[in-house]
Amino acid sequence: MRPTGPKLKVMQDPFFFGYGSLVNRATHDYPSPYHASVKGWRRAWQGTRLRKVAYLTVVPAHGEEIDGLIAAVPGHDWAALDKREGAYQRHPVSEHVEHGAPHEVDVQLYAVHHEHATPREEGHPILLSYLDVVVQGYLQEFGEKGAIRFFDTTDGWDMKVLDDRAAPIYPRHQRLRPEETAFVNDQIDKRRIEITRERG
């Protein structure tokens, strides 16, 4: 009988938890995406010193839970994603994530680094082209109920939304179907979110 030694543990690729634009699969090609949720965090719009627009981030929030998408980072190569999420820092959240992957996963999420954050009164607007991408992702992954939940579980809707659809500023902007555009517009109207066309 051949002796057996200790089994080698296969190193699984780590996963990111996307809660904004990373929910929209058209903005990336990371493999093995699965629906997921994370407890203890809530989304919020945040101004930074890096750009005069708002970033979507997450903040610790006891008892809260948000939906999103996890996907693998092949070979533990975070470099490209870290560059894309340059205003953010990663946080390990594996023990707080529920997901549809068929195996255990090591999960991290990105939150705006506190050193970059600016006071709300500085008035950095939310780019409509950015919001469109995020909501399109939630509509495609979670349907209208999931997209409404995105709005309900996100703070900062008192910030103005800059209408840049005609000339999108957001680098990963996507073309929305008419019904997707109508949904975003309807949520903006229902929530009385202020729209501006003035680029500061």
From CA 58, how far away is CA 126, in angstroms rounded?
Answer: 15
Distance from CA of residue 116 to its chain's centroid? 18
Residues 34-56 pLDDT 10s: 999 999 999 999 999 988 999 99
DSSP strand pairing (97-99 vs 88-92) = unpaired
Indicate if the pLDDT at residue 6 is higher than 50. Answer: no
Read off the DSSP letter of residue 116: T
Q: Residues for the chain: how many in total?
A: 200
Instruction: Read off the pLDDT band of 200 (50, 70, 90).
Output: low
**CA-closest candidate to residue 153, choices 65, 47, 35:** 65
Instruction: Read off the pLDDT band of 122 (50, 70, 90).
Output: low
What are the chain's domains? Answer: 15-196 (3.10.490.10)
Instruction: Read off the pLDDT band of 120 (50, 70, 90).
Output: low
Q: What is the dihedral of CA 188, 191, 196, 200, to 10 degrees?
A: -110
Indicate if the pLDDT at residue 96 is higher than 70. Answer: yes
From CA 128, how far away is CA 196, in angstroms rounded?
Answer: 10
Contact present, 111 and 57 (Cβ < 8 Å): yes
From CA 89, how far away is CA 146, in angstroms rounded?
Answer: 26
pTM of the full structure: 0.90
Residues 101-118 pLDDT 10s: 999 999 999 999 988 888
